[in-house]
Amino acid sequence: HPGSGKTTLSKWLIINMAKQCLGKKNMLFDNNCSIKNKIPILIPIWKYVDQLKENSNKQKQTLLQYIYENINTLNSTYFNDEERKELSSFIIESLLEGNILVIFEGLDEVPIHIDRSDLMKEINTLLERGIDYDIKSNKLIYSTYEQKEINNTKDPTIGNRFIVTSRIEGNYFEEINFYIPRLTIEDMTNDALKLFCSSYMECIQNISIKNGRHIKEHKID
């Protein structure tokens, strides 16, 4: 549902998984966690569709290529050209090792007038095919072996993982060829809203006190 927290939850997962990869304290894992860390990547899926439209006269870029060639992180001003190349190479290596978790955020945000069939084909291919490295083109390609189940699902710790977020309306997931676990974020009840507002204001107050500022207390009815 709109405003139920899909994007917020996605960013929360990405941040905490990144902290885990860096060995920092986080709210997702404890120190005793033995699961191998996966490199988290957040991709607004509509940006991939927009790029295809902008480059319609060029050779089509697969969703797999988009993950390591055009993710927002690579365009960050924090990195120079050499660092972007290193990061892209690192993502390629991690994809081949099956050590990536990608969150494709906002499937429902792809404009309604856009034909989603090609996008859904790309998502299905990403789910069902393995990944190979093509030495000639220096790019990742899909394995020619087509599976009847989602690639690498027998062991939850092995293989790349993908999360797709969307509103319930539209039945966007019906076009995915496989059964995938679905989690629904329900509308917040009044009690849940009160708890959220109370926790939010408490957090703001604590930050203000640390910064030497004071704010009025708010009573939530």
Q: What is the pLDDT of residues 120-154, one digit of tens each?
A: 889 988 888 888 998 888 889 888 766 655 555 56
pLDDT exceeds 70 at position 74: no
pLDDT of residue 93: 92
User: Picking from 108-112, 123-127, 160-164, 183-187, which range would have the lowest pLDDT averaged per residue?
Assistant: 183-187
> Degrees (nearest 5) of the Cα angle 208, 210, 213?
40
Inter-residue contact 41 to 91 (CB < 8 Å): yes
Predicted TM-score (pTM) of this structure: 0.76
Q: Identify which of 21, 62, 61, 60 has the alpha carbon closest to the alpha carbon of residue 41.
A: 21
Please tell me the distance from the alpha carbon of residue 47 to that of residue 37, in angstroms, as a whole number. Answer: 26
Beta 139-146 vs 129-134: how paired, if at all? antiparallel
Q: Which of 55-59, 114-118, 191-195 has the highest mean pLDDT?
A: 55-59
Q: Where are the alpha helices (DSSP H) in the chain?
A: 6-21, 45-54, 63-69, 81-96, 117-128, 190-210
Q: What are the C-alpha distances in Å from 171 to residues 38, 54, 107, 121, 195?
A: 29, 27, 11, 16, 31
Q: Which of 72-76, 147-151, 154-158, 182-186 has the highest mean pLDDT?
A: 182-186
